[in-house]
Each structure stands twice: as structure tokens, then as C-alpha cells.
Amino acid sequence: MRLFLSATAWVVVILVLTGFVLSSVYRQAVERSFDRRLNLYLRTLVAETTTPDENGAEHQFQSLGEPLFEIPLSGWYWQISRLDSDKPDVRSSRSLWDKQLPKLDDDSGPLTAAGVRIGYVAGPEDQRLRQIERQVDFGSDGKFLITVAGDATEIFDETRTFDYYLGGTFLALSLVLVFTTIFQVRFGLAPLKRISDSLAAIRSGRAERLEGEFPVEIEPLARETNALIDANREIVERARTHVGNLAHAIKTPLSVIVNEANVHGADPFAAKVLEQADVMRDQVAHHLERARIAARVTVIGTVTDVAPVLEGLRRTMEKIHRDRGITIACRSSGHPRFRGERQDLEEMVGNLVDNACKWARTRVDVEVMAVASGSPGGAMMRILVDDDGPGLSPAERAQVARRGQRLDESKPGSGLGLAIVVDLAALYQGSLALGGSPTGGLRAELTLPAA
């Protein structure tokens, strides 16, 4: 849209410049036509100046075929001034009455090859005149300055009329161009807008493919986009299969090692093997889970409602920690939706709620809210998990976020919970931050993409 409007603006600017050029060219053409008319009268005056009448006296000038030379102050004048006499000798048309025409100065323009100078002057009654003059030397007959002037209003009126028609024509062309561009953008590019909306729907989980009929020019784009989406799903499915096969291949030898070590439980070496096998099992489970998630987050268009997930986790965690009487409260504003798969959200929030329940005295609060500021990656949401436990110092918060780090060995777990949450959130372009809770304990703030 912006590109089309920019191109249209440039075309309008070009039309305006073209209008100025055409107006200038037309004005020059009108002036040349007017000058030819003046020059014809000038040559007639030159000829009559040198032609004596039948009695040998100087010729009595006629109207030169133009009645306006006879009408006083009509705007059309001629004047013959003798230059080689001490006494003023000026003859002029009857239209000049008792006025005289001014002499053109050098600023009016250079002399032509014929010795003619042309320019604009102010005439009687402040008329704007187009004037042409020529000095003629007839030797013994004398030296004269012959001047002819015409009302320049004709030039200005002709040019103004042309400008009106030209401006109206170009204005109509500009309006037609603008409306044509708007029509092309709104209707000609409508299929591209449909594709854009369909891709947004696929990304947000409302659709799985580009559906509908498209023009022949756009159909290949829609077809290749659907093929790309199908190829993406196939790659993800293959990755899930490989992850499952790898998990089975690794867990089976580990189970054999653990079983053999249990047979020799009293042997210190067997106890060490069991300890390291548990570490290996936790690490393998973590990395396999991360590989599974990395493959899964590439699936386009997966969306999960947050409220049902939180409610399910609340019931599960209250049962697990029933003996401690922990109360879990869940709150959410609006209808939050996570742009990802349900099991990933359950794993991240489940780890945070489980960790909060382990350290809470009586209560855990879970709240979901939208992020106020915009994000380049799209809409985001925050999940806050607060407990009323002892809390952590800044140094302890940095420590527990590292994989396998535990502050209290008396609490169950492998120390991988928060590290898993950090890794999974990063895969979704989210983050996890630890801070102080209003209830006195620890606050875990999980930021994730929202649909």
C-alpha cells in the first residue's frame, strides 16, 4: 500500500512539473505569434517611412490594416522618432493621443540579427505592452527609431486560459490515478491480504492451512506455503520418533546397569554406580525432553488455554501436598492463551508450582496477566507464582537457576526443575525471573508468548 501511494505521489509531482513546462512552452509560442504580428506592422512602417508620396512629401501613415491604431488608448500603438535631429520629431498613431512610448533598455533583451529589440513595457493608462523597436538609418533621409506596441493582455489571457484547461485536465488525471491506485490496492491486492490474514491465523492456531480460491498469479505462492507447512509437520514428526527411539535405546541399558548394581547393593562400588546412574538418568531425561520440546515448538499454530492447565495443576499439587495443608489460589485476567503446546506449559508451570509448594508455609498464589508493553515477537503474558516461604537472597536466586544446584538436600528433587523451566521458556522466546514475593517468600515470574 505504501509503495503504491509513494509511486502515485511521484507521478502527481511529475504531472505538476510537466504542467509548468507545457505552460511555459505555450506562453513562448503565444509570444512568438504575437511578435510576428508586431514585426509585420514594423516592416510596414519601415517601408512607408522610406516611400515618399506622389507630391514628394513624406508619406501620411495609414492604420496599417489595424483599426485599433485609430482608437485612442486602445493598447495598440506605433511611433516613429527621428534620432538625427536636434528638434524632437515624433510621429505616432492616433491611438497614442498625446502620449509617447518608452524606449526599451538593454535589460529588455539583446538585439536580434535584424537589429530588432523586443520586450515588455508599461504603456499609457498603465497598460502592459509587448513592444518591438528597430533603429533604421536611411542615410541622407535620416535616422529613425520605429516602435510598435500591442496590448499584452492578449498574451496573458491566452496563457491563462490554457493554464486553466491544462490544470483542470491534469487535476482530473491525478484524481483518476489516485482512485485507480486505491482501487488496485483495495481490490487488486486483496488476495495478498487474504494470504497475510491466513498466515496470521495459522501462526495463532486458528487454522492449519491456507484455504480458499486464489488468482492464478497468487496460487503458486499459496500452494508452496501449504507445502512448506506440511514439510514442517513431517520433520517434527520424524524428530519426535527419533527422540522416542533414542529414549528407549538409552533407558534400557541404564535399567540393566541399575538392576545389576542393586544385586550387589552392599558393595560400595555398586552404590556409587547407582548414584551415578541416577544422575545419568536425570540428565538423559532432561536432554531428551529438551530435544522433544525443541522439535515441538517448531510446529506452527499450536495454542493452549491457560486457565484449564492451571486448574488441573492446582488440583494435582494440592493432592500431592495434602499432608502439609498447602492452599493454591489461581487467578487470571481475561482469557489467556499460550502460543505453544499444553504439555510444555504444564511442565514449566508445574515445576514452578511444585517448587513453591515445597517451600511454602501455607499458601501458593498463581496469577496470569498480559504484558503491558508491546513486544517485537508478538503478544506476551506473565505467569506469577508466589509462596509465603522463607524466600531467597539474590545470590541464592542465581544459584538455584543453574542446572543441578540445590540449596537444601532435605527437599526431594534433582535440582533440574528451574533449569528445565529456563530452557523451555527460552525455546519459546520467553524468560524466567526470580524475585521477592509480596507474601514474603519467593516470586517466580515466567514470561511466555500469548495468542
pLDDT tens digits for range 124-134: 888 899 999 99
pLDDT score of 186 more than 80:
no
Determine the pLDDT at residue 415: 46
pLDDT at 56: 43
| Mean pLDDT, residues 192-203 | 81
Residue 329 pLDDT: 92
More confident of the two residues 402 and 279: 279
Sign of the torsion formed by the C-alpha atoms of 41, 42, 45 and 46: negative
Contact predicate 162/38, CB 8 Å: no
pLDDT band at 118; cut points 50, 70, 90: very high
Please report the beta strands in 83-210, taking only residues with DSSP state E, as ranges in sequence order: 90-92, 116-122, 128-137, 143-151
pLDDT at 246 over 80: no
Give the pLDDT confidence score for residue 419 in this predicted structure: 78
168, 196 Cβ separation under 8 angstroms: no
% of the chain with per-residue pLDDT over 70: 84
CB 34 within 8 A of CB 154: yes
Per-residue pLDDT of 42-93, as tens digits, reads: 988 888 776 655 544 445 555 577 888 889 988 999 999 888 876 667 888 8
pLDDT of residue 52: 56
| Residue bearing the bigger pLDDT, 277 or 127 | 127
Predicted pLDDT of residue 200 = 79
What per-residue confidence (pLDDT) applies to 384? 93
Q: How, if at all, do strands 128-137 and 327-332 pair? A: unpaired
pLDDT value at residue 404: 44
What amino acid is encoded at 280 in this protein? M
- Do 149 and 117 form a contact (C-beta atoms < 8 A)? no
Residue pair 130/35 in contact (Cβ under 8 Å)? The answer is: yes
Quick one: pLDDT band at residue 288, thresholds 50, 70, 90?
A: low
In three-state secondary structure terms, 16 is helix
**Interval 82-91: pLDDT, tens:** 888 766 678 8
pLDDT, mean over the chain: 81
Q: Comparing 401 with 200, which gets the higher pLDDT?
A: 200
pTM, rounded to two decimals: 0.47
